[in-house]
Amino acid sequence: MYDCFRSGEHLYIVLEYCEDGDLKGYLDRNRKNGGISETEALTFMRHLMSGYSALLNKKVIHRDIKPANILLKQGVAKLSDFGFSRVVEDPTKTQKLSCLGTPLYTAPEVLARQ
């Protein structure tokens, strides 16, 4: 994130330009070639876990991690779209939060409110 500012009722977040698009598109483009390699998948997962860890350290929960919200730049995966994110004092105790996000990618325990 490069910058963040408000203009009237709107909040703007200025992010790095990721010219390689999102992970959903990347996976779709590579599906006809047999998909991506396990090595590439593990590399992306390491990048995402690093980003997720940074969010937890800042007490931020994303609430909508899915391939379309993961941007790619020169082989590096980056979390994006923080529209449903929220700062919480204890990320392990989020029972009172609204159930947001994309249902297909929502964890079963979130859907079950556990």
Catalytic machinery residues = 64
Domain interval for residue 24: 20-111
Can you read off the two tokens belonging to residue 66?
């899915």
The strand pair at 3-7 and 10-14 is best described as antiparallel
Q: Is residue 3, in this structure, part of any structural domain at all?
A: no
User: Whole-angstrom Cα distance, residue 68 to residue 40?
Assistant: 17
Task: Give per-residue burial for 58-87: e unless 16+ CB within 10 Å, then b.
Answer: eebbbbbbbbbbbbbeeeebbbbbbebeee
CATH number at residue 53: 1.10.510.10
Q: How much is the pLDDT for 62?
A: 86
Question: What is the count of structural domains for the chain?
Answer: 1
Residue 39: predicted pLDDT: 97
Mean pLDDT by runs of 10 across the 114 residues of the chain is: 91 91 96 94 97 91 90 95 82 62 71 70
**Which pLDDT does position 18 carry in this prediction?**
96
Residue 2 lies in a domain: no
Q: Is 5 part of any domain?
A: no
